[in-house]
Structure 1
Amino acid sequence: MSASHGKPASPFKQPKAVWAVAFACVISFMGIGLVDPILPALAESLDASPSQVSLLFSSYLIVTAVAMLFVGWVSSRIGAKRTLVTGLAVIVVFAALAGATDSINGIVGFRAGWGLGNALFIATSLAVIVASASGGFGGAIILYETALGLGIAVGPLLGGELGAISWRGPFFGVAVLMAIALTATLAFVPRSPKPPRPTSPVAPLKALRHRGLLTMGIMALLYNWGFFTMLGYAPYPMQLGAHELGLVFTGWGLLVAAFSVFFAPRLQARFGTAPVLYANLLGLAVVMSVIAAGVTTPKVVIVAVIVSGAFIGINNTLTTQAVMLVSPVERPVASSAYGFLRFIGGGLAPYVAGKLADATDLGVPFYVAAAAFLVAIPVLASGHRLVRAAEQDTGEGESVQPAAPVLTRVGPAAAADGPPLVVAVGSHGDAAAVVDAAAGLARDAGSPLEIVHVHQTAVVDEQAADTESEARARAAVTAHLDRLSARGIPAGGQVLSSVGDHAAAGRVLARYAEEVGATTVAVGRSPHGSLVQFGEGSLTSALTHTAPCTVILLDPDTPPRPLTPSTLTTLRTE
């Protein structure tokens, strides 16, 4: 949270380094649906069966899965930028080779090399964007989300347009675009420091000994089994050309992006992570069953595939958050272990689906996909207590770092001459102005001031990155305290750490306000904009609904505004 003098800062006012990586992210996310429109054309042009073509997914994803075990080790030794650049270079080379070959086996092999580059890239892209953002992480996250949505939505459309010219078009298109991204990254992204200590290459495998991480990883394996069965085999029964297939998967991609970024957090805030995932997995099982039953009716398959985008968007975001909630290890290690299992599921599924389709009929792989989604439900249920404990901070989880939102004291507490005024701020540039305005209110009321710095791990689709280091968050609180101390204003400070779930952080803040008997909790204007700040599932919305005291919106240019559930609706449109 931060105040703003005038209009909120635009998330698109970023240094060239952020734009370079964001462009590369768009091209990378395009790869999710880029080849779908050309699958039937590949099978026809290269005289290959659908099961042979499906190996494009299998080789790519299995190599990505294995590489995920080592990317943390590589990045910890050569730095994030070099890892990112290496990944981009590998993608350029192997995408071009895939477009130049004349055999299906050649494409399958070069897609495997592409998968290696993909693992190196996705493991570092979000972290590099966050680290390179000059105006705070909030704008960088919005830009990353925009890149995700644009890439997923435009990828199939571009694949369809280029594929209508030649099946080679999408491969050469990726090579050219990634070469541009590679050049921009080399030119504009500064060299990143190496982590203070290297990551062990066996750390991800050792991490899977922890029940919570293993449970979520197996659930993700089953989910990706169903997901990539659909992605690899749904184009065939649609009986469409490359251009039309591109339009279908563009509609699918739009729903994936929208439900991942906008709807998943709101559903999570209202119902909780595990209940939403239960319903979501059941919904996916139903959709796959519809495809299986209607596999001879192209319109049924087309509608079902587009609808599945909503469920997939929700699942991608909430599964990653659940992994981070129950993870007992550092974020990069947890991401590598989780990525290994989920990509293994995605890689094996198209191969098995092809064998099943060859031996039976095209509907059977989709029934198996539906069964995978259903089996994922009891797997998730076996870890329900861990997820719930992490969300509610009951202490029953086995995490060794703050998974559920927790407050950590920085320095001594302020002298308790009365109930405090609590102010929540983030790492944005206007945080100091919000703290100063809150200090004025506390002084006038004769109350001590309690500064709460909100430090979050951002979760976007299937990526997670710390928005700032713990040391930087503590340093921000210390700077506020030192500035106020010099002016003789009593204040205490804390860091509120959370993973992805903004509403959970808001509820923890409200609970803390109740525990200390705070008279007021103040927040500032967010640079994310009013719709994000006051929407359902946000920290401000959850705080306003649950705090037992007055919640106010601070803007140094205007009088404080009381926040109530009824005023949030009005504020969203401002």
Structure 2
Amino acid sequence: MGIGLVDPILPALAEQLEATKAQVSLLFTSYLVVTAVAMLVTGWVSSRLGAKRTLVLGLALVVVFALAAGSSSTIGQIVGFRAGWGLGNALFIATSLAVIVASSSGGFAGAIVLYETALGVGIAAGPLVGGLLGDLSWRGPFIGVSVLMTVALVATLVLLPPTPRPEHPSSLGAPLAALRHRGLATMGVTGLLYNWGFFTLLAHSPFLMHLDAVRLGLVFFGWGLLVALFSVFVAPRLQRAFGTSRTLLVNFALLALDLAVIGFGVDSPAVVVVAVVVAGAFIGINNTLVTQAVMMVAPVERPVASATYGFVRFLGGGLAPFAAGLLAEAHGDDVAFWVGAGAVLLALVVFATGRRLVDAADARMAQAHEPVDAGTEAVQGMESLQGGGEIAAPQPPEGRLSR
């Protein structure tokens, strides 16, 4: 829910705290850049503390820093506290899926359905709750996150059984060292560029709609609903019908076109609203298949691949909102979205250079009669992180492509 909870209050923050669009966008930048850097160490921390302790630590940090942000009086203070929030977020997402799988009484498949359903509901409901709370006060969404995470923290402490520490602690330098592999580096840059466009839309579009917090919440509820539906149900069907590479190449082009439409229609709130909601479909497909492609081509253990990819892509997501704000102030809102569209088109080009790796991995999966599932890949990676074992990632067909 925290991904979009603050979206509906961005215009109110700018107005009431007398901040510029670029300053307000730093709420995303500080949060995501810290999350990116922290991804490099979360595996190291989790492998030493154990999954439950890591979850508790992450939740506690979110509770404290979200409440502090809601109690702030300046935009600078909020930006600073969002950075601490990002650290808690990184610790939480590093272990949450593995814990759900280990704790579920409904079996592996039931755990996947539970996780994907919870994720979808959270992405869709976050902006709606944020809009309702933001209509009362801009402080409402921050305090609301703190309350919700306090409930999660207590539930984790009381209901989650102790989790053992892994037998083999993770190496601190493994994520950065993995960037020497061409396949993983290519997908990381693809994710960075894609997230540049994604977070340009998420952080800057609320300023163009001229809606109150509740209506903004409803718009992003529709966006989040499409993200969830297309991520869980549509992306796997498109992949089976057309393959991972072909689906992603077309999808990148459509998302770039959508961002360009916003660029040309910045003076029309109706155009922006429709384009933002429609973008949820393309983002849902990309979120599933890009992450899956990373796991297919990475010639390292999946926990390491996940940390490496998360580090690179969150850097793009963190820098884009601030850059969009500066571009809008200097050259106009349209330029910010055209740059976002250009970044996604560049992601298409970068991805195309590594397409052979993804196609080969698709073919191996088909020959082995093993359906590729993003949720399954992620769970296997997180299980390895929690249990200390190593799961060999699919190797690229030609060694020179992975160097």
User: Shorter-chain TM-score: what band?
Assistant: over 0.9
Contact (CA 8 Å) 1:38, 1:160: kept in 2 or not?
Answer: yes
1:321 and 1:37 mapped to 2: Cα distance?
30
Q: For the structure 1 residues 106 and 217, does the alpha-carbon distance in structure 2 shift closer, same or farther, using more than 3 Å as the test?
A: same
Q: For the structure 1 residues 498 and 200, does the alpha-carbon distance in structure 2 shift closer, same or farther, using more than 3 Å as the test?
A: closer
Choose from 187, 193, 205 the match for 2:164: 193
**Other-structure match for 2:254:** 283
Following superposition, the deviation at residue 191 of structure 1 comes to 1.3
User: Gaps spanning 5+ residues in structure 2: where?
Assistant: 385-391, 395-403
**Other-structure match for 1:444:** none
**Other-structure match for 1:111:** 82
> Does residue 138 of structure 2 align to residue 157 of structure 1?
no
**Letter in structure 1 aligned against 2:264:** A
Following superposition, the deviation at residue 196 of structure 1 comes to 2.0
**Letter in structure 2 aligned against 1:466:** Q
2:274 and 2:184 mapped to 1: Cα distance?
34
2:72 and 2:135 mapped to 1: Cα distance?
18
> Does residue 227 of structure 2 align to residue 256 of structure 1?
yes
> Does residue 365 of structure 2 align to residue 459 of structure 1?
no
Contact (CA 8 Å) 2:300, 2:393: kept in 1 or not?
Answer: no
**Other-structure match for 2:281:** 310
Following superposition, the deviation at residue 327 of structure 1 comes to 0.9
Following superposition, the deviation at residue 38 of structure 1 comes to 0.2
Matches within 5 A, 1:369-388: 369-388=340-359
2:382 and 2:52 mapped to 1: Cα distance?
17
Choose from 204, 221, 229 the match for 2:192: 221
2:98 and 2:240 mapped to 1: Cα distance?
25
Contact (CA 8 Å) 1:157, 1:250: kept in 2 or not?
Answer: yes
Q: After TM superposition, which residue ranges in structure 1, 4 or more long, deviate above 2 angstroms?
A: 404-407, 456-461, 467-470
Choose from 53, 78, 101 the match for 1:82: 53
What SS is found at the alignment partner of 2:362? Answer: helix
Following superposition, the deviation at residue 459 of structure 1 comes to 2.3
Contact (CA 8 Å) 1:152, 1:254: kept in 2 or not?
Answer: yes
Contact (CA 8 Å) 1:61, 1:347: kept in 2 or not?
Answer: yes
**Letter in structure 2 aligned against 1:465:** V
Task: Report the TM-score when normalising by structure 2.
Answer: 0.93
User: Gaps spanning 5+ residues in structure 1: where?
Assistant: 1-29, 394-403, 408-451, 471-496, 500-574
**Other-structure match for 2:236:** 265
> Does residue 321 of structure 2 align to residue 350 of structure 1?
yes
When Rg is computed on C-alpha atoms for both structures, the one with the higher figure is 1
**Letter in structure 1 aligned against 2:380:** D
Q: For the structure 1 residues 95 and 299, does the alpha-carbon distance in structure 2 shift closer, same or farther, using more than 3 Å as the test?
A: same
1:325 and 1:339 mapped to 2: Cα distance?
15
> Does residue 304 of structure 2 align to residue 333 of structure 1?
yes
2:47 and 2:339 mapped to 1: Cα distance?
39
Following superposition, the deviation at residue 192 of structure 1 comes to 1.2
**Letter in structure 2 aligned against 1:106:** Q
**Letter in structure 2 aligned against 1:119:** A
Contact (CA 8 Å) 2:194, 2:347: kept in 1 or not?
Answer: yes
**RMSD of Structure 2 on Structure 1 (CA):** 1.9
What SS is found at the alignment partner of 1:464? Answer: helix
Contact (CA 8 Å) 1:141, 1:458: kept in 2 or not?
Answer: no
Contact (CA 8 Å) 1:207, 1:329: kept in 2 or not?
Answer: yes
Task: Report the TM-score when normalising by structure 1.
Answer: 0.66
> Does residue 203 of structure 2 align to residue 232 of structure 1?
yes
**Letter in structure 2 aligned against 1:464:** A
2:251 and 2:312 mapped to 1: Cα distance?
20
Matches within 5 A, 1:22-101: 30-101=1-72
Q: Deviations over 1:171-212 (max 9, x none)?
A: 000001100100000011111122221111110000111010
> Does residue 330 of structure 2 align to residue 362 of structure 1?
no
**Letter in structure 1 aligned against 2:269:** P
Identity, % of aligned pairs? 64
Q: Deviations over 1:284-337 (max 9, x none)?
A: 010000000000000000000000000000000000110000011111110000
Contact (CA 8 Å) 1:457, 1:467: kept in 2 or not?
Answer: no
Contact (CA 8 Å) 2:66, 2:143: kept in 1 or not?
Answer: yes
Report which of the two has the higher share of helix.
2
Equivalences, count: 387
Following superposition, the deviation at residue 498 of structure 1 comes to 9.7
Q: For the structure 1 residues 186 and 469, does the alpha-carbon distance in structure 2 shift closer, same or farther, using more than 3 Å as the test?
A: closer
2:283 and 2:345 mapped to 1: Cα distance?
15
Q: For the structure 1 residues 303 and 406, does the alpha-carbon distance in structure 2 shift closer, same or farther, using more than 3 Å as the test?
A: same
What SS is found at the alignment partner of 2:3? Answer: helix
**Other-structure match for 2:180:** 209
Following superposition, the deviation at residue 460 of structure 1 comes to 3.5
2:75 and 2:361 mapped to 1: Cα distance?
47
Following superposition, the deviation at residue 357 of structure 1 comes to 0.9
Following superposition, the deviation at residue 458 of structure 1 comes to 5.4
Q: Deviations over 1:42-86 (max 9, x none)?
A: 001101011100000000000000000000000111111111111
Following superposition, the deviation at residue 465 of structure 1 comes to 1.4
Contact (CA 8 Å) 2:57, 2:88: kept in 1 or not?
Answer: yes
Matches within 5 A, 1:380-399: 380-393=351-364
1:253 and 1:71 mapped to 2: Cα distance?
27
Q: Deviations over 1:231-254 (max 9, x none)?
A: 010001100000000000000000
Higher relative contact order (CA 8 A, sep 6+): 2
Q: For the structure 1 residues 163 and 376, does the alpha-carbon distance in structure 2 shift closer, same or farther, using more than 3 Å as the test?
A: same
Report which of the two has the higher share of strand.
1
1:58 and 1:467 mapped to 2: Cα distance?
27
1:406 and 1:36 mapped to 2: Cα distance?
44
**Other-structure match for 1:415:** none
1:45 and 1:468 mapped to 2: Cα distance?
42
